[in-house]
Homo-oligomer: A and B are copies of this chain.
Amino acid sequence: MDSDVMSNGDDAAVGGIAADRLRSIIERVERLEEERKALAGDIKDIFSEAKSAGFDVKVIRQIIRIRKQEPAEVEEQETLLDIYRRALGM
């Protein structure tokens, strides 16, 4: 029978191929995740260095966050914050 995937002679082959495919996918992802983890470690090291040099790591993170955003976004948030503060009399 030529039914979709489950016909006799091809079962093993197709199944085997699928299993290999699955294994390949998983292993590639795991490899990439290891690299990601390594990079995370590198970043951590840099922040340690920064701290040793007397910088405030939390503020550095803020800077990086701000640099990542659209200036308009930042402005928007600050404006709303002001409005709410005024509304509360703060």
Give chain A's interface residues, CB within 8 Å of chain B.
5, 11-12, 14-19, 21-23, 25-26, 28-30, 32-33, 35-36, 39-40, 42-43, 46-47, 49-50, 53, 55-56, 58-60, 62-64, 66-68, 76-77, 79-90
Query: CA A19 – CA B5 in complex, angstroms?
Result: 45
A88 to B55, CA, bound (A): 13
Which of B40, B63, B81 is within 8 Å of A84, CB to CB? B63
Residues in chain B near residue A60, CB distance under 8 A: 22, 25-26, 29, 83-84
Please measure, in the bound complex, the distance between the C-alpha atom of A62 and the C-alpha atom of B28, giving whole angstroms. 15
Q: Is the CB of A85 within 8 A of B63?
A: yes
